[in-house]
Amino acid sequence: MADEWHSPIPSQQNQNKIAAENFAESFVTDLTSQGAFTQKVKGKSLLLDTLSSKAAPKSRKLKTLSRKKRKELKLDEITNTQYSTFEPLHELWKGYMAELLQDNTDLPTKLLKCDYHGAIITVIESKVPTNIHTAGIVVKDTENMFYIVTKENLLKSNYCLI
């Protein structure tokens, strides 16, 4: 008796089937021929909902290179030390700084956190006396070092304290 209340009316089942077929046919108009539609779609169940998260492929985490491997591959080495190569980088840096310093709010913090790649700097104080008054374009900066290319096309590294 309970099954009678929950089972659909036979004519309603046929109407649902016809409606589903019409729905599928209306959205598959870009197929080249009717034969392709009947071969690939008609009579087959179509999944209209998204797949569950379990079916999605898992993304693999990329591993970072070790310091030893980076050194072997020479990824951190600067091979081109021509001053003229880095002059366009300096022009880009000037535009970056002009944009960064448009509003003068919190200027010291901005200067500490900004990117100095392309800046022309001069060494004022150094533990190495030969580095004093050396000027050039910053081509690499690390936590405590600026690597600059001088107008004489020399790569110099300078320890800095901020």
Q: Looking at mean pLDDT, say which of 17-26, 62-71, 92-101, 127-136 comes out highest.
A: 92-101
Which tens digit of pLDDT belongs to each residue from 75-84?
A: 888 888 899 9
**So where are the chain's domains?**
9-62, 74-159
Pairing of strands 145-149, 135-141: antiparallel
74-159 has which fold?
SH3 type barrels. (2.30.30)
Average pLDDT value for the chain: 78
With contact defined as beta carbons under 8 Å apart, do 134 and 124 qualify?
no
* Model confidence, pTM: 0.56
Cβ–Cβ under 8 Å, residues 132 and 125: yes
**Could you report the per-residue pLDDT of 1-51, keeping only the tens digit for each?**
555 555 555 566 667 677 767 766 665 554 455 666 676 777 777 666 666
Per-residue confidence band for 118, with pLDDT thresholds at 50, 70 and 90: very high
